[in-house]
Structures are given as structure tokens and as C-alpha cells.
Structure 1
Amino acid sequence: MSDAVRSWMEKYISAWTSNGPDDIRALFTEDAVYATRPHDRDPWTGRDQIVERWLAARDEPDEWTFEWTLVATDGDLAFVQGYTHYLGDRPSYDNLWIIRLAPDGRASEFTEWFMERRP
């Protein structure tokens, strides 16, 4: 499972960098759910909506850096801890991601927590 998570994370970071619709789409199953917070009342549902909302909220590649570690896996679930450092005057964030991977390595569910890091 850890190899599958590493592969997915590499593809996620590549998509985050490129903002290419095909790169984003390749990360998720057709009916995937992307929650931008726990218990999200309006998650991004389906690959088309995930791509649309990702691009609407996109970060440009020269605006951020990201570090991550795999905390644990449990069956098809992966738990990733990250740190997103935004350049300039934007705040930086500590992240926790829960990713449910389908057998083909794409995510069927993605939930993120992001907490502003205080200096």
C-alpha cells in the first residue's frame, strides 16, 4: 500500500504543479468525492466537478512548497500529514489528508484538513 500511496502523492503534486485538467482527472475515480474539510456539506463530487473546482481555487506552481509523510494505512485508506508553505504574505498550513485508494490506484475519496500555522 505504501508504494501506491507514494505513487498517488507524486501524481497529486505533479497535478498541483501543472494544474492540467488531465493530470487532475487521472487522480480520481469517475465518482470520486473530494471533501475540503471533514463533514463537508458541499464536497466536490465526480471527476468533472473536482477538476472544475480545483482549477477555480488553484495555486500557481511558484506560490508554494509542500512536504509530506505517510502516517499510516488501514486497508484502502491512507493517512498523510503534510505542510504547505505559501510564499509571500499568504499563511502556511499543516495538513492531514485521508485518501481512499481504489484497486487501480486512483482516489475514490479524499478528505483534507488544513490548519493555519502560526509563526
Structure 2
Amino acid sequence: MSDAVRSWMEKYTAAWTTNEPDDIRALFTEEAVYATRPHDQDPWRGREQIVDRWLVERDEPDEWTFDWTLLGNDGGLAFVQGFTHYLGDRPSYDNLWVIRLEPDGRASEFTE
């Protein structure tokens, strides 16, 4: 498994747990694009908008569990299968994430 992808996923999960703006901000480049679905017509653009919209859509840490598997990576492009189980009556999700990592370890593109 790519150490860079593992490190980024660990930081992503930590940010998802804390919902701290600096933890979220540290994941993405200044001009990053975060798409909440493929072909997203309104992706989150730029690190500050990503932080703002993440916090609006935030999940609380006691509302979910998450497991992931690296399916592959090619240079800076990683493919991750993630499974999010939401507690209570919320649906669970089996996702394919596409993450473009830059040499500094931050994502410039992320698609759920």
C-alpha cells in the first residue's frame, strides 16, 4: 500500500472525526476540487470552500464507522473503496473514491 495514500486516509479519517478546520485544511491544496459525487455540477472549489462546506455537511464522530481499502494507485492518482456505516436510520455507503495526491501529500482533487 502506498504510504502517501495511507497517510492521507488516516488524516482524512481524523479530520472527519474532529471536524476541526485546520485538520480539514491540511488535507487539500489551495486550489483543490472536492466532488461529492462523479460529474458533480457544483464541486467544492478551493481549500477554504472545502472547509466551509465540509462543516455544513459535517458528521459527528459517534454517528458513523468507516473502513477502506486501497484498490490501486498510479503515480499521484489513488483509487480507494470506502464503506461508511451510519448508525440509526441513515443509509450506509459503499464508495469508490478517486484522489489525486500532490508530492507534498495533499489532495488537489477528490471525488467521492
- Letter of the 1:69 partner, please give it: T
For residues 1-119 of structure 1, what are the structure 2 equivalents within 5 Å?
2-112=2-112
Q: Which runs of 4+ in 1 moved over 2 A?
A: none
Looking at structure 1, the residues matched to 37 and 60 of structure 2 have their Cα atoms a distance apart, in angstroms, of 21
Give TM-score, length-normalised by structure 1. 0.92
Gap runs ≥5 in structure 2:
none
Deviation per CA, 1:3-45, whole angstroms, max 9, x where unpaired? 0000000000000000000000000000000001111111000
Looking at structure 1, the residues matched to 48 and 25 of structure 2 have their Cα atoms a distance apart, in angstroms, of 7
- Secondary structure, in 3 states, of the residue corresponding to 2:73? strand
Looking at structure 2, the residues matched to 102 and 82 of structure 1 have their Cα atoms a distance apart, in angstroms, of 21
Aligned residues: 112
Q: CA deviation at 1:86?
A: 0.3
Give TM-score, length-normalised by structure 2. 0.98
Q: CA RMSD in A?
A: 0.8
Looking at structure 2, the residues matched to 93 and 39 of structure 1 have their Cα atoms a distance apart, in angstroms, of 18
